[in-house]
A and B are shown apart, each in its own frame.
Chain A
Amino acid sequence: MKPSSLIICRCEEVTIEQLEQAYQTGSCTSRQLKMKTRASMGACQGRVCRQLLEAWVHDKKPDSPRDAELLSYRPPIRPVTFGQLAKDES
């Protein structure tokens, strides 16, 4: 197995190769890479790969800022059904 085919986002099955391609075509921050490749946008909402994505970008550009805002969190932060969403309404 080539290192580039290593999956880093398991939910969306994004490989290092895909991050590399996105980076080469101008997605340079963790946020841009997320938008382009869907890394950290899957069912776990980045709980597993967020750190990896950040580490990868930082390795590419060591002086890039460590900004928590780049990979933002939005509710719902856990998978939730429509039934659960509607639970308060009767």
Chain B
Amino acid sequence: MKSKRQQSDLIIVGAGPAGLAAAAAAAENGLSVTIIDEFPEPGGRMLGQFHEERGHWWVGKRIADELIEKNRAQGVLIRCGVSVYGMLKVDDMWEVSTSHGTMLAPRVLLATGAAEIPMPANGWTLPGVMSIGAAQVMTNVHYVKPGKRGIIVGVNVLAMAIARELSVSGVSLASIVLPPSGPFAGKAALPKENLQLLMSLSHLAPSPILRFGGKIANALGLAGIVSSLFPRSGIKLWDIPLKLRTKVVSINGTDRVESVTLADVNGQGEIIAGSEREEAVDFVALAGGLYPLAELASIAGCPFIYTPELGGHLPLHSERMKTPVEGLYVAGNITGVESALVAMAQGQLAATSICSDAGIFGHNGESKVAAAIEEVHRVRASALIQFHPGIPEARRKIYRMWQETFGAGV
């Protein structure tokens, strides 16, 4: 005999910025909402994020606390430490299988966020090697230093943002260096490509070299020349040496990380013979970037599209956050890797879309959805941290594809 199973109007998987924002908005409009998250506390990756923005500190945990409070006040049920391992549509109801039993709802919003792409190097299975996100969670969420002195391998938006957080938190970092060449790093192992990335971030960089150098070199398309002039000793980014002409060769140690072997590279990313040396560190943070975590969309039967600008394979969805699967919606990094602020706006939009589909707004549904879409555009355009310069165009391509496939009015 089946025991009584919990039913809501809406189940949201993921209690990060997108899920929490969506839950608060949906509950405000009268839906009964359950949020499920496998982490022991709600907030998602906002819990460990903070950065300096136009003279003040943006603290993710504070934003998360406000959203959680809003949700509690609206009667949203937040269930943490619960894993979803499957979902199945039976008649008009989603059966969501979790580690704590099955939950039912006619509509499900997937706000599962993103996962990290590893950056393998010789020795990366030694204790003391972790992903950059793990170093962030240890330091900023659990308040445990990942080690005495570490090194970051991989230069990308995520690595730079977390390097800054670690350094503010008092974690000692030897430097940020390039990953080993090969199929896994691809262009990420080349000095020129990394400099181009930094140029697109130059408005964030505290160093005048990067700020002015970035703008000028970018305008003139000089990344190739500048990268060969980039000082071998690196430049200081905040207080962390950023070394675009140094790469990691191997991570060394017997039972745990004891050192890394570094080498200088030329403009093509090839190792300059004889430049190898050891640097003593007790932890290594590998930064390979993020990809949308969309396993549940896949098993729910949603088709996927490959969009490198947004992090790879992602569930096909409309601009109003609907998937082609009836009653299945997406919001946040599962639709492409962007900042927490964009994720929150997307969560709002998904909730508006869901309430509109549930008939709550009557004739006003379309205008409310249009306003929420406008808000996502506004937030995206003003976001300080752009994970990829091609995001707006990549998004337009997805929505065009949706229009061509499913036509208007879906």
Do A51 and B291 touch across chains, with their CB atoms under 8 A apart?
Answer: yes
Known: A58-B183, A78-B84. A84 touches B99 (CB 8 A): yes
Q: How far in angstroms is the closest Cβ of chain A from B304?
A: 4
The interface size bin for chain B is 35 or more
B85 cross-chain contacts in A, Cβ below 8 A = 75-78, 80
CA distance A2 to B205 in the complex (A): 38
Would you call the interface of chain A mostly helix, strand, loop, or mixed? loop
A78 touches B38 (CB 8 A): yes
Chain A, 1-23, CB within 8 A of any chain B CB: 1, 3, 6-8, 10
Q: Contacts A1-B250, A10-B125, A90-B3 given: A51-B86 contact, CB under 8 Å?
A: no
Q: Interface size of A by Cβ–Cβ distance < 8 Å?
A: 34
CA distance A89 to B5 in the complex (A): 11
A6, A58, A72, A90: most-surrounded residue (chain B CB, <10 A): A6
CA distance A7 to B313 in the complex (A): 24
B2, A76: Cβ atoms under 8 Å? no
List residues of chain B with CB within 8 A of the CB of A80.
83, 85, 99
Decide if B306 touches A55 in the complex (CB within 8 Å): no
Task: Name which of A10, A58, A60, A77 has the most chain B CB atoms within 10 A of its CB.
Answer: A77
CA distance A10 to B263 in the complex (A): 26
B299: contacting residue among A59, A73, A84, A90, CB under 8 A: A73
Q: How far is the CA of A7 from the CA of B121 in the complex (A)?
A: 9
* B115 contacts the other chain (CB 8 A): yes
Residue on B with the closest CB to A5? Answer: B122
* Interchain CA distance A51-B250 in the complex, whole Å: 21
Note all chain A residues with C-beta closer than 8 A to B219.
none
Q: Which residues of B contact A51 (CB under 8 A)?
A: 117-118, 288, 291, 312
Q: Is B156 an interface residue (CB 8 A)?
A: no
Q: Which residues of B contact A7 (CB under 8 A)?
A: 120, 124-125
Residues of A contacting B102 in the complex (Cβ-Cβ under 8 angstroms)? 88
Q: Which residues of A contact B299 (CB under 8 A)?
A: 73-75, 77
Which B residues are in CB contact (< 8 Å) with A45?
295
Point out the residues of chain B lying under 8 angstroms from A52, CB to CB.
117-118, 120, 184
Cβ–Cβ contact A68 & B115, under 8 A: no
Say whether A3 contacts B86, CB under 8 Å.
no
* 20 residue pairs from A and B, CB less than 8 Å apart: A1-B250, A3-B122, A6-B121, A8-B120, A8-B184, A48-B118, A49-B118, A51-B117, A51-B312, A52-B120, A55-B183, A59-B186, A60-B183, A77-B295, A80-B85, A80-B99, A84-B100, A87-B101, A88-B5, A89-B1
- Report the nearest B residue to A70, measured CB to CB: B313
- Besides A6-B121, A47-B295, A52-B120, 15 other CB < 8 A contacts? A6-B122, A7-B125, A8-B184, A47-B115, A51-B312, A52-B117, A68-B298, A68-B304, A69-B304, A75-B85, A75-B86, A77-B295, A84-B100, A88-B5, A90-B1
Chain B residues with CB below 8 A from A66, complex form: 306, 313
**With an 8 A cutoff between CB atoms, is B141 at the interface?**
no
Q: Is B77 an interface residue (CB 8 A)?
A: no
Q: Which residue of A lies closest to B302 (CB)?
A: A68
Contacts of A73 on B, CB cut-off 8 Å? 295, 298-299
**A3 cross-chain contacts in B, Cβ below 8 A:** 122, 182
* 0/1 string, A52-65, CB within 8 A of B gives 1: 10011011100000
Residue contact B99 to A78, C-beta cutoff 8 Å: yes
| B184 close to A78 (CB less than 8 A) | no
Chain A, Cβ-Cβ closest to B297: A73
Tell me the bound Cα distance from A51 to B85 in angstroms.
Answer: 21
For the complex, what is the distance from the CA of A39 to the CA of B183, rounded to whole Å?
16
* Contact across chains for B99 and A88 when beta carbons are under 8 A apart: no
Task: Report if B97 contacts A (CB, 8 A).
Answer: yes
Instruction: List, in ascending order, chain B residues with CB within 8 A of A76's CB.
Output: 85-86, 97
Instruction: Output the least CB separation between B17 and chain A (Å).
Output: 21
Docked complex Cα distance between A78 and B99 (Å): 9
In the complex, residue of chain B having the shortest beta-carbon distance to the beta carbon of A71? B313
Residues of A within 8 A of B385 (CB): none
Q: How far is the CA of A49 from the CA of B118 in the complex (A)?
A: 7
